[in-house]
Amino acid sequence: MKSSRRSFIRSASAMGALAVLPGYAGILNAAPKSLKLLILGGTGFIGPHEINYARARGHQITMFNRGKTAPDMFPNVEALVGDRNGQLDALKGRDWDAVIDNSGFFPRHARLSAELLHGHVGQYMFVSSISAYGDDMTVADDEFTAPTAVMDGPVDESEHIYGPHYGARKALCEKEVTKVFGDQAINIRPGIITGTGDPTERFRHWLRRMVAGNEILVPGRQDLPVQYIDAADMCGWMIRMLEDGNGSGPYNAVGAKEPYRAKPLLEGLVKTTGSRSTLTWVDWEWIRKETSEAANYGPWYGEGPTPFMQVNNDRAMARGLTFRPIGDTANDMIARLDEVPVADGRRGGFSPGTEAALLARWHAQELGTVN
């Protein structure tokens, strides 16, 4: 994970050099009123989408971060240097219309920033996750009926930010922000975010295989539901919600209108991208017995946490969340495919050698030539 993040950072400055990242064509009219926006973070994955979109809409941006990740990404954007862990002096005595908190992973940090900014920003938008929901969530639940994840013990701030209590910590962060800002708190709960700059292989590994034009092994059920949201769609919607000024509470930021189904999704991508690849569907349990690399796959395969791939997004769509065709997302990413190195260990499927070996054994089994 550390090496893949370093690789992403090396290519991030090139992303920030664009006037606007791909995905915003036709929706970049100036906002009715220019806002002063504070971004906590800003140079990771979704931050550049937020900043580029907001600037194109005519807003004034201030970033607050440690100044370590791609510090030259936005040379014309005000950058305040500090740390969520109590080093917030750079924020004191300043006022903004709204803040977007991209970097809150521990409830104490969320509380510190919320308390300091209370009375100095109008709205506090916290980027949470659908992982904030508990394992007993069902497909019938929405933002207000689904139980949130809980922790059995105290928060351990030495745990990796994406560690085992990631979801429960996000839920606690939401509570801290809401406790301070009340109905001026907006909690965005994304699902799987992809698009230009995605540092994981969760969606991009399919595109790499399609560009290569080889046979692609697809594990699991052909009708398995899956939800992706393009960072361009999500971040543009977040900025527009702040412009409207009347958002409040939690919103499930998942796409598209209905969950994709694995087979039509991948077949559609092969066609849209002009790939010569063929898709071979292979039984998931057979794969698990054949290779330990099955652990590289995310929750799309096998039975998986199905409710987390069919999350209700009615509330977000009612507040203006829209979706571009997934094929447009794919082609945007393919156009910049070489800028983001393969993120090993980031749920990107099998190594090429393992995939080829599995396909050979699967076809041999189908032909009855395996002992």
pLDDT in tens, the chain (371 residues): 333 333 333 334 334 433 345 555 445 678 889 999 999 999 999 999 999 999 999 999 999 999 988 899 999 999 999 999 989 999 999 999 999 999 999 999 999 999 999 999 999 999 999 999 998 899 999 999 999 999 989 999 999 999 999 999 999 999 999 999 999 999 999 999 999 999 888 899 899 999 999 999 998 888 888 899 999 999 999 999 999 998 999 999 998 999 999 999 999 999 999 999 999 999 888 988 898 877 666 545 555 556 888 999 999 999 999 999 999 999 999 999 988 777 665 556 788 888 999 999 999 987 776 55
Please answer whether residues 195 and 231 qualify as being in contact, where contact means their C-beta atoms are separated by less than 8 angstroms: yes
Cβ neighbours of residue 33 under 8 Å, at least 6 residues apart?
243
Instruction: Please state the φ and ψ torsions of residue 84, each to the nearest 5 degrees.
Output: -60, -25
DSSP assignment of 174-196: HHHHHHHHGGGEEEEEE-EEEST
Please answer whether residues 230 and 329 qualify as being in contact, where contact means their C-beta atoms are separated by less than 8 angstroms: yes
Domains of the chain: 2-367 (3.40.50.720)
Place of tokens 């919103």: 251
Alpha-carbon distance 150 to 173, whole Å? 12
Closest CA to 84 of 112, 46, 116: 112
Alpha-carbon distance 363 to 184, whole Å? 57
Please name every residue paired with 253 in a beta bridge, in sequence order, or none if there are none: 190
Alpha-carbon distance 121 to 32, whole Å? 19
